[in-house]
């Protein structure tokens, strides 16, 4: 148990936050499935984690709190999702282990998307850093050849090239950052409201009762975005279950899985397009900036040294 928890800690340091939360949720689910009481599960996990890891800090707060969901609220958006899952299952008397496993799978998918986006950004960012160093290399290389490229930056054409080059570099950086932000998944846990409704119904709550509990929990934790998308999905599935005369919980779980698949597919597509879109600011801003900051001063220095007009 201690070695397994240590692996969680090491992965959490290098992985996106959602993957650390997923690891904790899955371990708690495994312990609960094995017959360990929820409060003891948190204590066992707390005893096994090192104190230097942010995940361990949150786990320790949960293990020492009387109200675990409340202890997780202020730890971050991903932890609020875990808090909501635990709160709904507790208030409705539903088993939390299955819900935690599903949540862990969802968070891992989101974490993988974040890794894909980081990988897509790595190439253009490395190129941008290299291009920012090349002007210094160009100036030094020109001086080694006997051209006063440093003095060239003090001339009017050199100063204009320098200012334009810096502005282009800043514009390319902001443009790339905006593209990366738009590619990030905005929904921490797609299908959460549908999943929470299935949890509540599996605990014996009626549909109106489940809605009331979820509304209270979502309002307390700030999980509602005001779009009403999750509630409309629940309405459609509940109406289908009532017409067919079958339990709604299984249909809701199926619908939540579909929503997660759609969200994962869209996120993967966004990450794939991001690597292509990032080439646009690279070509429009970064490479021209290199020409202005690295090549133009050397050319001006050559002209100055040969007395051909400047």
Per-residue pLDDT of 154-206, as tens digits, reads 788 888 888 898 898 888 888 888 887 887 777 767 778 888 888 888 888 88
Q: Other CB atoms closer than 10 Å to residue 269's CB: what's the count?
A: 11
Q: Are residues 31 and 116 in the same domain?
A: no
For residue 138, what are the CA distances in angstroms to 125, 280, 283, 297, 307? 20, 24, 20, 8, 20
- C-beta neighbour count of 309 within 10 angstroms: 7
How many domains would you assign to the chain?
2
Is-contact 221 84, C-beta < 8 A? yes
Q: Same structural domain for residues 60 and 178? A: no
Q: Is the whole model's pTM more than 0.95, yes or no?
A: no
Say what percent of the chain tops pLDDT 70. Answer: 82
Determine the Cα–Cα distance for residues 208 and 219; give it in Å rounded to an integer.
Answer: 16
Do 189 and 119 belong together in one domain?
Answer: yes
Residue finishing a domain among 96, 111, 144 = 96
- End position of a domain, from candidates 96, 118, 136: 96
Using alpha carbons, select from 73, 90, 113 the residue that is nearest to residue 218.
Answer: 73
Out of 96, 121, 142, a domain closes at 96
Are 156 and 167 found together in one domain? yes
Q: Mind giving me the DSSP string for 100-116?
A: HHHHHHHHHHHHHHHHH
Which structural domain range is residue 155 located in? 97-310
In this structure, the answer to whether residues 141 and 39 fall within a common structural domain is no
Give the percent of the chain with pLDDT over 90.
Answer: 3
Q: Are residues 227 and 82 both part of a single domain?
A: no
Q: What is the distance between the alpha carbons of residues 209 and 136, in angstroms, rounded to a whole number? A: 67
């Amino acid at each position: 148990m201690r070695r397994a928890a240590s692996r969680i800690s090491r992965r959490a340091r290098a992985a996106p936050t959602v993957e650390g939360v997923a690891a904790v949720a899955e371990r708690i689910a495994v312990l609960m499935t094995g017959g360990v009481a929820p409060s003891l599960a948190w204590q066992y996990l707390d005893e096994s984690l090192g104190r230097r890891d942010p995940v361990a800090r949150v786990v320790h707060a949960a293990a020492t709190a009387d109200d675990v969901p409340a202890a997780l609220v202020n730890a971050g958006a991903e932890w609020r999702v875990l808090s909501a899952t635990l709160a709904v299952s507790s208030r409705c008397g539903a088993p939390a282990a299955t819900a935690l496993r599903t949540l862990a799978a969802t968070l891992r998918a989101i974490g993988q998307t974040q890794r894909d986006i980081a990988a897509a950004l790595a190439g253009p960012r490395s190129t941008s850093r290299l291009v920012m160093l090349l002007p210094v290399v160009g100036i030094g290389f020109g001086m080694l050849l006997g051209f006063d490229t440093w003095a060239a930056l003090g001339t009017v054409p050199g100063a204009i090239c320098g200012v334009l080059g810096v502005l282009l570099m800043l514009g390319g950086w902001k443009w790339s950052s905006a593209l990366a932000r738009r590619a990030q998944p905005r929904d921490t846990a797609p299908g959460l409201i549908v999943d929470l409704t299935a949890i509540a119904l599996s605990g014996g709550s009626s549909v109106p009762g489940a809605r009331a509990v979820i509304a209270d929990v979502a309002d307390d934790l700030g999980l509602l975005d005001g779009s009403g998308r999750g509630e409309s999905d629940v309405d459609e599935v509940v109406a289908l279950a009532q017409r067919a005369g079958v339990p709604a919980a299984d249909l809701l779980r199926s619908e939540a899985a579909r929503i997660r698949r759609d969200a994962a597919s869209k996120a993967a597509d966004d990450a794939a397009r991001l690597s292509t879109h990032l080439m646009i600011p690279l070509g429009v801003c970064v490479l021209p900036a290199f020409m202005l900051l690295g090549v133009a001063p050397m050319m001006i220095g050559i002209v100055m040294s040969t007395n051909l007009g400047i």
